[in-house]
Amino acid sequence: MKIRELVGGSAFLCGPDLTMTQAAEEMSEQKIGALAVTEKGELIGVITERDILRAVAQHATLQTTTVREWMTTDPDTIGADVNVEEAASWLLTAGYRHLPVMDNGELIGMASIKDVLWSVFDASKVADA
């Protein structure tokens, strides 16, 4: 299976000037652990639940602190035609939990380690049957 099939063709986005509280609310509402941060249509970062936790631990005022201050800038990305097994290996090796998926320069989704590993696990069950 290709990673493009896993992400569904869309990503949850936010702008860099969103507050950390607003980002946390969006992640909670969507039941996701990361948002792709875009500006002028370009991917400029990723904000994750870990980033929010770091901000809390450092006593940031989440209601006024922006995503721009805590996001991972210029994130690594993965191509849409990469096999999920290769994506799983990369996520585990790099220690990432979320990775933007790009297709011809366009963001088409966010791969989570959980979804990638479930996909690999399910595929192996089918192969064993």
pLDDT in tens, 25-65: 999 999 999 999 999 999 999 999 999 999 999 999 999 99
The enclosing domain of 90 has a CATH number of 3.10.580.10
Tell me whether strands 42-48 and 72-73 are parallel, antiparallel or unpaired. antiparallel
Q: Pick the residue with more confidence: 128 or 19? A: 19
Mean pLDDT, range 98-106, rounded to an integer: 94
Q: In the block, which residue shows the tokens 């192969």?
A: 127
Task: Give the per-residue pLDDT at 121.
Answer: 80
Q: What is the spatial distance between Cα 59 and Cα 56, in angstroms, rounded to a whole number?
A: 5
- Helical H segments across the chain, by residue range: 3-7, 20-30, 49-57, 84-94, 113-128
Q: How many structural domains is the chain composed of?
A: 1
pLDDT for 129 equals 47
Q: How confident is the model at residue 119 (pLDDT cuts 50, 70, 90)?
A: confident
Per the listing, tokens 């990775």 go with 99
119 and 84 Cβ atoms separated by less than 8 Å = yes
Decide: 96 and 114 in contact? Cβ < 8 Å.
no
Confidence of residue 118 (pLDDT cuts 50, 70, 90): confident
**Does residue 103 register a pLDDT over 60?**
yes
Q: Which domain holds residue 67?
A: 3-128
Most confident of 15-19, 81-85, 93-97, 115-119: 15-19
Is 69 in a helix, a strand, or coil? helix
Give the pair of three-digit tokens for residue 96.
Answer: 């990432």
Give the Cα separation of 82 and 4 in Å (integer).
8
Q: What is the pLDDT of residues 71-90, one digit of tens each?
A: 999 999 999 999 999 999 99
* DSSP labels, 35-53: EEEEETTEEEEEEEHHHHH
